[in-house]
Structure 1
Amino acid sequence: MQSVKKVASIALSVVMWIIILVAALYAFTTLATREDGSVSDIAGFTPLAVQSDSMAPTFNKGDLIIIQKCDTSKLEVGDIVTFHAIIDNEYALNTHRIAAIDEVNGMRSFTTKGDNNDVADTHIISDGDIVGKYVFALPQMGKVMDFLSSSMGFLIVIVLPMLLFFIYQVYHLIVVGMNLRRAMAEEDRLAAAAAIVDAEGKGAAATVTADNAAEQLAQAEAKLEEARRLKAEAEAAMNATKQEGTDGE
């Protein structure tokens, strides 16, 4: 029974760690772009969910890509980069391959193109637009992040399990507290019982001691009585001897 509880506890801990890691990943994917235009990262790495098939088959819509901060001066044609862009009149991050690099008066500009697009991007980007360089992709994990981005997904996958785990921990603490109180009560009961047994043992020992004293006193009285008897007999014999001597004279 104890082994089953131990396995269940370990399994629950593993599940909670997975939820925590997923929640952390969710936070960085859904909140990656800040209002000031900067991008959050973990040790220089940022996870992003892919929203289109413009880079297929390198990676597809629904994948999760990992990008890394880079030195833009070392970028070359063929590198895949993530950059700030305006898509459908909205601010967004886009990830395409560098198709050409131009340099004018020491300032570099980049022409990008999606592997699955027929034409290059119309917006020419500069060093300041580039967020990072593509490292690798996790197939279909972007869908998980998109689901977590929704209110229902966040509630089901993160909030609800954490709430259940919190309730379980509270219940566990209550059970532990009750068991501790029962153990303390049982310990007190055993201590009281031991005290009673000890007292009874001492009483029995005292009774035995009193009985021995009474027995010894009786024996002493008997010996004293025997001594008195012998003394009386001796005195009687002496008196008889004296009487005989008087009669002879």
Structure 2
Amino acid sequence: MKETPSANKSPPKDDPRIDALIRGYAHLSEQVEVLTEQVKIQKHQVDDLTVDAILAEFHQKQERKTHADSPTPYGRTPPEPAEKEEAPKHLQPEKPHRKRQGLKLAGNIVFYSALVFLIISALFIRTTSNGSPRSLAGFTGMVVLSGSMQAEIPKGSLVIAQQVDPKTLQIGDDITFMANPTTTVTHRIIGIIEDYEDTGQRAFQTQGIMNDEPDAQPVPAVNVVGKVIFHSEVLGQIAGFMGQYWLFILFAAAVVIGLTVILKRIYQKEPKQTAH
């Protein structure tokens, strides 16, 4: 009986192809191990670089903070200042230059107000050519020369009287009136005559509060200069002086104003020096 060759016939043990396959597999295993080691090394390097970058950034921040807190050495560029949060405007302290401007403005207001007061008072106290008191916008200023109202308006006080409708005057009001063509008097109303001498006009019975008797003659409404609205003993002394020397005061005020204007213009034209 003939034998047929087997399909699964194994190669002989000394076949050189088996040795070649074994050597190839071993070489491949070595290459895989080498590649695995290289991957691990590169991974460690990447991790180290990441850590180094993070540490470097941290050190830079610390260094900038240290430079900001310490004086900058000569020749070194100072770090950029960090942005600071500003407090609300209503909580921020007022700047010095604004305070100076406010004080300067207040000083100018006081100065020019005083000059205006001096000029107006010098003209205000003087009488007109016919002897009647001078009026300014319905107001009249006079200095009391007697003590008939001493308890209320001391002698030498400045009195300001305002022109009013005679129908509005009442008992107890202090009024300034013309006693004669050249004399003014300030007394208190103690009585009112509605139809004086059939003229249809009012007249007022007056009396100085320090006098024992009322004034001899009623004061017709046409003779009333005004109702007293203000009086001051101190201002009266000043006004009396200015009324006596008003020409000199006007001249001095004009000189002071002129010098002030000139000095301001000179100061404004001077170039401002900048510090180097």
Map 1:19-168 onto structure 2 (within 5 A): 19-31=115-127, 33=128, 35=130, 37=132, 39-42=134-137, 44-86=138-180, 91-102=182-193, 103=195, 104-105=197-198, 106-151=200-245, 155=248, 158-168=250-260
1:57 alignment partner AA? A
Corresponding residue number in structure 1 for 2:67: none
Q: Helix, strand or coil: the match of 1:81?
A: strand
Deviations 1:134-161 (A, max 9, x none): 223223211110100122x6525x5324
The whole-number CA distance in structure 1 between the counterparts of 2:209 and 2:123 is: 29
- The 1:155–1:8 alpha-carbon spacing in structure 2 relative to 1, beyond 3 Å, is farther
Query: Matched residues in 1 for 2:190 and 2:218: separation?
Result: 11
- Provide the C-alpha distance between the structure 2 equivalents of 1:136 and 1:147, rounded to a whole number of angstroms: 19
Q: Which has the higher helix share?
A: 1
What are the equivalent positions in structure 2 for 1:158-237 lying under 5 Å apart?
158-177=250-269, 179=271
| Residues 18 and 137 of structure 1, relative CA distance in 2, 3 Å threshold | same
Give me the whole-angstrom Cα distance separating, in 1, the residues matched to 2:109 and 2:130. 35
| 5+ long unaligned stretches in structure 1 | 183-249
Residue 60 of structure 1 aligns to which amino acid in structure 2? P
Write the distance in 1 (CA, Å) between the matches of 2:219 and 2:108: 48
Q: Deviations over 1:111-133 (max 9, x none)?
A: 22111112222233211111111
Q: Secondary structure at the match of 1:15?
A: helix
Matched, 1:17 2:108: no
Q: How large is the RMSD of aligned CA atoms in angstroms?
A: 3.3
User: Is the alpha carbon distance of 1:81 and 1:19 closer, same or farther for their aligned partners in structure 2, counting shifts above 3 Å?
Assistant: same
| CA distance in structure 2 between the partners assigned to 1:48 and 1:173 by the alignment | 39
SS of match in other structure, 1:16: helix
Letter in 2 for 1:155: F
Deviation at 1:92, TM superposition (A): 1.6
Determine helix, strand or coil for the equivalent of 1:140: helix
Counterparts of 1:30 and 1:39 in 2: how far apart (Å)?
A: 6
Contact 2:133 2:142 survives alignment (8 Å): no
**CA offsets, 1:210-246, max 9 Å, x none?**
xxxxxxxxxxxxxxxxxxxxxxxxxxxxxxxxxxxxx
Q: Is the 8 A contact 1:57 1:116 kept in 2?
A: yes
Q: Is the 8 A contact 1:68 1:135 kept in 2?
A: yes
Q: Conserved in 2, the CA contact under 8 Å of 1:99 and 1:112?
A: yes
CA deviations over 1:56-76 (Å, ceiling 9, x no partner)? 211111212221212212333
**For residue 76 of structure 2, what is the aligned residue in structure 1?**
none
Q: Alignment partner of 1:128: what SS? A: helix
Aligned length: 175
CA distance in 1: counterparts of 2:213 and 2:188, whole angstroms:
12
In 2, Cα distance between the equivalents of 1:128 and 1:66?
A: 18
Query: TM-score, structure 2 length as denominator?
Result: 0.52
SS at match of 1:121: coil
